[in-house]
Amino acid sequence: MFVGISNTPRDYAWGSTIAISGLLGTTPSGKPEAELWLGAHPGSPSVIEDPSRTGGARTLVDWILADPERALGSALAERETDAGSVPPRLPFLLKVLAAASPLSLQAHPTSERARTGFALENAAGVPIDAFDRNYRDQFHKPEIIFALSETFEALCGFRELGEVRRIVGELRALDAASENPQPGALDALESRLLGDTGLRDTVDWLLRDGRGGDTGEVSWLVERMVSLAKDAVYLAEGGAAIRFPLELATVRDLAVAYPGDPGIVISLLTNRVSLKRGEALYLPAGNIHAYLLGLGIELMAASDNVLRGGLTPKHIDVDELLDVLAFSPVPVPYLAPIVHTPGVSEYRPDVDDFALVHIEASAADAAAPAAGVPMRQFTLTGPGIALCTAGGFLVAGATASVTLKRGESVYITPDEGTLTFAGAGDVFLATTP
């Protein structure tokens, strides 16, 4: 069964006003369009375009609750998630994300941590919508981001301490060459980077001293680091050899978006990545990250659990964040696809909540002698959501078919089995592995 679905983009302030509409061929609203949600998340469930096909249910979440076996398939409808017995639910949420300015530094909990935190806050009587609530549900929230723009800029995971010290060393050289050297600010940072717990100790100090119990040290450090970063960018633009130009340019840019925020310093503790179009990251539980700029397809476990760690005016629970963060340095967590056949690439992380399939076929494929209409196939083992971002396809399954054009999306029940995509363009298919 193919069920047409749609939604209205979320108007978060950091969103682009043109990127999502430009991708999907829709009319811009004139407001920020940050995220388009496709799924059954209660915060913004997809709207069913023809409720007569779903027993009158007008949203995807209502249909799943009313007829879970039809919507999800019997296996998923009956499955008890690792969070315990919950109403039948779609475990993933597909988004188009368009960042025109940086999002907050954040991390997400493991399933066990989410379960425990949710129960404790419920027991304490913390309202589910309270500004200082950490856990709004009992689920983890790992995620994939796939770059659609020519580059997609992000911070993700802590970098090696040795590399952090080399960045500090470059800042020291800039400080020493300045008219008014202030080495004490960098001394305060470097002294906390020592030892096996240097990253944790530094993040703890930055967030506590920079947001509340302020001794002035962190504010001084942020101010000095921003000034030195601006000098570095100026020198780099003039042809000088700067070893970390991208990282220091990021410090300068973050200071414009979040002046004085200790997250500006934390950005230098993390990996700075520029994804190229078609590259993807996988961000598991505990990975500190922030999306800075760009358009992408995001696929995640359906949860609202976010622990923020800077670059935000919102609540930060430092103790909980420190317990959730994975402080072991990691390389940039690129996620390579499984290429099933030409034009069918699957991005499958180490969780059972979701997988992302990219279906692509070019007009040149159809123009080749005796080529005919390009066809791509993928077999569902669970429900799916397909979004066409370019061109158009006839999508056929075991029981039905649908025409899918640029900007259109459709929910697919598992009984459709093997899907055949005939046409040219791009489709992103979210499903369960």
Q: Catalogue the active-site residues.
A: 308
Classify residue 335 by its DSSP letter: -
- Report the C-alpha gap between 144 and 294 in whole angstroms: 14
For tokens 């696809």, what's the residue?
Answer: 337
Q: Which residue has the tokens 């669970």?
A: 382
Asked if residue 271 lies in contact with residue 332, where contact means CB atoms within 8 angstroms, the answer is: yes
Q: Smallest Cα–Cα separation from 148: which of 284, 269, 308, 36?
A: 36
Are 229 and 265 within 8 A, CB to CB?
no
415 by DSSP, 3-state: which? helix
Residue of 108, 104, 230 whose CA lies nearest to 178: 230
Separation of alpha carbons 294 and 255, rounded Å:
19
Distance in angstroms (rounded) separating the CA atoms of residues 114 and 137: 7
How many angstroms separate the CA atoms of 301 and 353, rounded?
Answer: 6
Helical axes 217-237 vs 198-210, angle rounded to 10°: 110
